[in-house]
């Protein structure tokens, strides 16, 4: 839509930048999982904006479905949809297109409802709809956010910019290139929509007052416009007709080069070649599973995978330390151990409880530079 087909060479480069940035740390983040959902949505939005066409009923349902999926994965990632809808709303109000507004909104809402049905069924069958909504929405919204003043709001935005520069620098500069590309774009309507979507996504990601290193990964979605900007400049400066002529072989070469480069540039390869029996999770699981129907508590740190490997369903509501209500979580977890309600406990620090004894410890890499030691405690009989 914005460049000739040679721009396809940008795809492996975008993948390389995304998968080797600090923001991709470990992978498997909500941001990573939502990239494909938001990418499809962005394509639908831009296609209609570029072609000056109205979003169809089918596309409206798809947008609702995708945005609903993103919302229930991590609601702070829906900013792009909000940005698009605000411009769409203003256009409909300005053009007095109330019927179009209501019609499209209803179809989008239908898609959101469809995406929500599986959750209602699952939590309904488990008699836990109130827990689902209370923990996911109420506690996350009111216990996680720090943006309660104008000063905090500005501080959070600045912190988000700093975090993105530090952990996702190439994406940051390409996103700046995307904004520059849109600002000089003659199509004002496209400019408003795309800049609004980017800024709304950024705002939603960082407004909560936390700037964790992986938050900016979702913004890599907007790198494509920066790539188009660079590609257009290169085409103007030099005659690069050979790209189109040899596009197929160049695409293979670019993909191969980026895959090889990603292996050497990623910080997530340090477990390649490590036998699973060398990992604390498997070492501890072999000990824990000697007991019949054992119970386990991941004490004082984020879920370290010990439940999964040992195939144990936690018996404590606060199965690990979370970023919500940390003092309450620590108090309840400690109370569980004092009462001897768990057969085993795994900790990153030595714990001093008379009814538990240290039976194993093991160290591993927490990331490419840092090591962490895990301690396995067993309830005294």
Q: What tokens were used for 354? A: 């008379």
Q: What tokens were used for 140? A: 């996350």
Q: Do 16 and 100 share a domain, yes or no?
A: yes
Query: Strand pairing partners for 347?
Result: 299, 375
pLDDT over 90 for what percent of the chain? 69
Are the C-beta atoms of residues 184 and 190 closer than 8 Å to each other? no
Residue 147 pLDDT more than 70? no
CATH number at residue 333: 3.40.190
Q: Do 154 and 63 share a domain, yes or no?
A: yes
Whether 270 maps to a domain, the answer reads no
pLDDT of residue 151: 55
Q: Do 106 and 217 share a domain, yes or no?
A: yes
pLDDT of residue 38: 97
pLDDT over 70 for what percent of the chain? 96
Q: Do 148 and 285 share a domain, yes or no?
A: no
Which residues form the domain of 196?
5-265
Residue 367 pLDDT more than 90? no
Q: What is the mean pLDDT of residues 236-264?
A: 87
Q: Do 214 and 349 share a domain, yes or no?
A: no
Q: What is the mean pLDDT of residues 16-40?
A: 92
Specify the range with the lowest mean pLDDT, choosing from 216-220, 246-250, 276-280, 347-351: 246-250
Residue 79 pLDDT more than 60? yes
Whether 9 maps to a domain, the answer reads yes
Residue 21 pLDDT more than 70? yes
Q: Do 250 and 137 share a domain, yes or no?
A: yes
Angstrom distance (rounded) from CA 349 to CA 333: 14
* R_g of the chain computed on alpha carbons: 25
Q: What tokens were used for 249? A: 């072989």
Domains of the chain: total: 2
pLDDT digits (tens, 9 = 90+) for 296-330: 999 999 999 999 999 999 999 999 998 777 888 99
Specify the range with the lowest mean pLDDT, choosing from 82-91, 112-121, 148-157: 148-157
Say which residues have a Cβ less than 8 Å from residue 21's Cβ, sequence separation at least 6: 167, 168, 169, 170, 171, 217, 220
Residue 149 pLDDT more than 80? no
Whether 149 maps to a domain, the answer reads yes
Whether 112 maps to a domain, the answer reads yes
């Amino acid at each position: 839509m914005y460049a000739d087909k040679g721009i396809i060479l940008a795809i492996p480069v975008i993948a390389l930048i995304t998968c080797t940035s600090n923001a991709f740390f470990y992978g498997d983040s909500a941001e990573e999982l939502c990239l494909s959902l938001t990418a499809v949505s962005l394509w639908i939005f831009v296609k209609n904006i570029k072609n000056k066409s109205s979003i169809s009923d089918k596309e409206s349902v798809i947008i609702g479905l995708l945005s609903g999926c993103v919302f229930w994965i991590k609601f702070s990632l829906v900013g792009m949809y909000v940005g698009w809808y605000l411009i769409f709303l203003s256009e409909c109000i300005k053009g007095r297109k109330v019927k179009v507004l209501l019609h499209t909104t209803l179809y989008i809402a239908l898609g959101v409802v469809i995406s929500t049905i599986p959750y209602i069924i699952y939590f309904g069958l488990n008699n836990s709809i109130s827990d689902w909504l209370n923990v996911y929405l109420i506690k996350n919204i009111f216990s996680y956010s720090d943006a309660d003043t104008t000063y905090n709001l500005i501080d959070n935005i600045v912190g988000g910019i700093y975090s993105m520069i530090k952990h996702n620098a190439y994406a940051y500069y390409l996103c700046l290139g995307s904004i520059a590309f849109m600002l000089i774009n003659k199509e004002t309507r496209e400019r408003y929509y795309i800049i609004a979507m980017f800024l709304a996504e950024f705002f939603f990601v960082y407004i909560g007052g936390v700037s964790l290193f992986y938050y900016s990964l979702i913004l890599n979605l907007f790198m494509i416009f920066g790539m188009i900007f660079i590609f257009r400049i290169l085409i103007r400066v030099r005659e690069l007709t050979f790209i189109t002529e040899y596009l197929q072989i160049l695409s293979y070469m670019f993909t191969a080069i980026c895959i090889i480069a990603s292996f050497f540039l990623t910080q997530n390869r340090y477990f390649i070649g490590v036998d699973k029996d060398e990992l604390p999770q498997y070492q501890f699981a072999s000990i824990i599973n000697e007991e019949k129907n054992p119970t386990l508590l991941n004490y004082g740190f984020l879920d370290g995978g010990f439940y999964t490997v040992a195939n144990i369903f936690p018996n404590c509501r606060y199965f690990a330390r979370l970023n919500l209500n940390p003092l309450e979580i620590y108090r309840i977890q400690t109370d569980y151990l004092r009462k001897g309600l768990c057969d085993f406990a795994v900790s990153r620090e030595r714990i001093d409880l008379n009814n538990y004894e240290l039976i194993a410890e093991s160290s591993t890499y927490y990331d490419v530079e840092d090591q962490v030691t895990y301690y396995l405690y067993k309830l005294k009989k």
